[in-house]
Structure 1
């Protein structure tokens, strides 16, 4: 067994401390002990403790458990990420109920059963680890929200989308966002989440095209220890991590047909079952999905379940490509320019007139993502002053699908061209593209991401 985490034992019986140290060193990376609670607060400040095993009585002749309840409340108030298991020789149902109400995760009676005690402490550690992960994700979420606020622009199409978002964001309606690659589907999903009643919780993104089929259930629903070869500990899936928040399923059109029923069951029932377990767990999520594919066409051809489509499609928002909102190109370009001149500390004064003309007239097949990369590249190549067409280095739109000259192109360029041509030929149907090229759906998806197609 892999030893992980730190457990702190607080008990006034030194024999118990010694016995528990010998027992628990087999299961935890670090075992700390205290002969009383007076140094508890200082220890929690100085050490990264995951679990406290806390005795409930420290004063001779007093067996009420009030001391344990007091210190439990102190720990939960000052270190809410630390989980507490209470430890007492005097079992009392009312006391156990009070302890659970005050935040204890378990209650173990002396003399203890080794297996029961270890199980209680390991479960408490898994909960502590999960809560730390959630805290880290929330910090990342706050950084993303601060760095990339939604850019609405002035185009009529985006104005209509903004009106829809203002009406539906506060509800729990499932939303399907469609649009070409690079149009900002995840950013729009984050904006909806930030405007919702769930904004204080996480939005958990899942790239459905990047999840291997064999790990689909584990990634989304979690697993218990021993469910499969590498399942060394219990692990929460994305549904549980997103509980009370928003689950964002990106590229949902890439989910194979045989897995769609499993996703539908979880959405309909509002509960999941971890791999290797038989116990259902309730989850409360707001679902936002996104795709660049025609799901209605996929339903007609039998590659996407109609019942799943209507379950995720309470509200449908279609993001327009950048070429259909040209009035937003220059404001977006200036926004990116400001970001990257600060990042790379370049004395750049803006875009010259010729560069602005190229920006507006370019077709932008990669949409906002392509524009962002073009501006970042131009900032890196520029020595200062205004950005010119020579530093923008925009390729003609047709270059993405023209056949490269074998005498000049690299293997990567030729591969990119073949994939782009196949995608045009099959209208974006990735299954047909993969079949034509003789590669797996997963390999194709990875290459599309790599080449920015």
Structure 2
């Protein structure tokens, strides 16, 4: 195993020298820096596995370095060296992402133990990220869940985490956000991939045959049952059952489904003994199941059973430039399928795509891109207003204001509504941010 690389930052030369000697003898690879500026330069040249920094230094302090590492070198543990009066500050810094803190004068042997643990944590995190990257690449995850926005990258990361866990998942998202795509990915990236994936649209199955469809029946179980029917749950044994629009499932069947999920066995009508069931359930909804349960429209116990693991899929309007990437992908794909030359989208169309609210999300965008690729429309999105009228492409100023407003709202949300912190993240003066908030009419700065 390669040596753990330590960046040790302190403004006192003797402290740096003695620490470097001791840590090198302890098996670490050590570089030092006298201040935050030097530390940033060192990190720019070569990443470190662990950063150790004094808090109080001339100029920028150790907390500034912590923020820099958190933002630009994600996953690298930062250990703070504190004076007696800095303990409260250091504890607060741990909530902001610091790995640990040691009070001066620190015990050198204890520092070695902390550094070894931090280095191992970083190594494991990097290995996990590498394996996930290989898995994502091998599965074509980036091609099946397209986009580079923070929202979709977060969803992809969470999906990769859930895929390898044998737990049930509740997918939440508006119509057209790609819940079935996510369900297929959860199955395809799981150990159950070689077994059946069975999709059931709970809104499309008539209530009169729902029970038979899911649970099946034995021959002679009722009048007209002249042969045995294998239910979809039994057919899916070993694999995955995807229950789309689960909010539409009749309440009586919700009770039976809850029992199946809890007991992992299914009672087939006409059979005396239940059949063991080894399936993973993935449910999808566009509704707030908890609120629906409070009104008596959905069983709360079923909701809590399904909601042990949840994955939220972001609406298209929150995905920024992903709209353009998705439109171009769908259009090119459809053109190739029909042997057509891809059409280049004009700037006015791209502007209109970014400005549209996309109530139908990716499904609406895909339909629009297909019609554009086939030359059946100009690609301009439409919205209902005084009848079905074409949405005129907004001017550049309006579009830029919309994009700027979205960026500011996101920064404010990430900063918890703190305008000073949001201004720092946006790298603009606090006063400038205040003027933009007033001009753009961003009233509630704690919300997205």
TM-score range for the pair, normalised by the shorter chain length: 0.5 to 0.7
CA–CA separation in structure 1 for the residues paired with 2:321 and 2:240: 32
Contact 1:217 1:275 in 2 (8 A): no
Question: Quick check: 1:333 aligned with 2:327?
Answer: yes
Gaps of 5+ in 1: 1-144, 383-389, 406-453
Cα pair 2:213 2:232 within 8 Å, conserved:
yes
Distance in 1, matches of 2:225 and 2:341, equals: 52
Matches within 5 A, 1:157-306: 157-306=151-300
Determine helix, strand or coil for the equivalent of 1:204. strand
CA separation in 2, counterparts of 1:376 and 1:194?
26
Query: Secondary structure at 2:230's aligned position in 1?
Result: coil
Unaligned runs of at least 5 residues, structure 2: 1-138, 390-448
Match of 2:301 among 288, 304, 307: 307
Instruction: Classify the secondary structure of the residue corresponding to 1:381.
Output: coil
**Alpha-carbon spacing, 1:331–1:349, altered in 2? closer, same or farther (3 Å):** same
In the alignment, the residues of structure 2 paired with residue 295 and residue 248 of structure 1 have an alpha-carbon distance, to the nearest angstrom, of 17
Kept after mapping to 2: 8 A contact 1:189/1:288: yes
Q: Secondary structure at the match of 2:241?
A: strand
Deviations along 1:108-160, whole A, 9 cap, x unmatched?
xxxxxxxxxxxxxxxxxxxxxxxxxxxxxxxxxxxxx9999522411111122
Q: Is the 8 A contact 1:221 1:239 kept in 2?
A: yes
Cα displacement (A) at 1:380? 2.3
Confirm or deny: 8 A CA contact 2:173 2:285 kept in the other structure.
yes
Give the CA deviation at 1:195.
1.0
TM-score (norm 1): 0.52
Q: Measured at CA, do residues 278 and 310 of structure 1 come closer, stay the same or move farther in structure 2, by a change above 3 Å?
A: same
Matching of residue 349 in structure 1 with residue 336 in structure 2: no
- How many residues were matched structurally? 251
Verify the 8 A CA contact 1:206 1:248 in the aligned structure 2: yes
Cα distance in structure 2, aligned partners of 1:276 and 1:246: 25
Residues 343 and 373, structure 2, Cα contact 8 Å, conserved in 1:
no
Mapping 1:40-189, distance limit 5 Å: 149-189=143-183
Contact 2:202–2:244 (CA<8 Å) still a contact in 1? Answer: yes
1:212–1:149 CA distance, 2 compared to 1 (3 A): farther
Equivalents in 2 of 1:245, 1:148: separation in Å? 24
Question: What SS does structure 2 have at the residue aligned with 1:309?
Answer: helix
CA drift at 1:232: 3.2
Residue 230 of structure 1, CA deviation: 4.6
After superposition, what is the alpha-carbon deviation per residue over 1:253-285, rounded to whole angstroms, capped at 9, x for unaligned? 111222210111111111112222223111100
Change (3 A) 1:156 1:393: closer
Q: What is the distance in 1 between the residues matched to 2:219 and 2:361?
A: 44
SS where residue 275 of structure 2 aligns? strand
Partner Cα distance (1:213, 1:318) in 2: 28
Asked if the contact 2:170–2:309 (Cα under 8 Å) also holds between the matched residues in 1, the reply is yes
CA drift at 1:162? 1.8
Q: Could you tell me whether the CA contact under 8 Å between 2:200 and 2:243 is conserved in 1?
A: yes
Q: Deviations over 1:46-94 (max 9, x none)?
A: xxxxxxxxxxxxxxxxxxxxxxxxxxxxxxxxxxxxxxxxxxxxxxxxx
Any idea what SS the aligned residue of 1:326 has?
coil
Corresponding residue number in structure 2 for 1:391:
378
- Residue in 2 aligned with 1:365? 359
Aligned with 1:391: secondary structure? Answer: coil
Task: Please give the secondary structure, in 2, of the residue aligned with 1:351.
Answer: coil
The corresponding residue for 2:117 is none
Instruction: Note if contact 2:382-2:388 (Cα within 8 Å) is conserved in structure 1.
Output: no
The question of whether the paired residues in 1 share the 8 Å contact of 2:353 and 2:380 is answered with no
Mapped partners of 1:174, 1:154: distance in 2: 27
Structure 1: how far apart are the matches of 2:371 and 2:339?
14
- CA shift, 1:344, in A, is 2.0
Asked whether the 8 Å contact 2:254–2:299 carries over to 1, the reply is yes
Shift of 1:241: 1.4
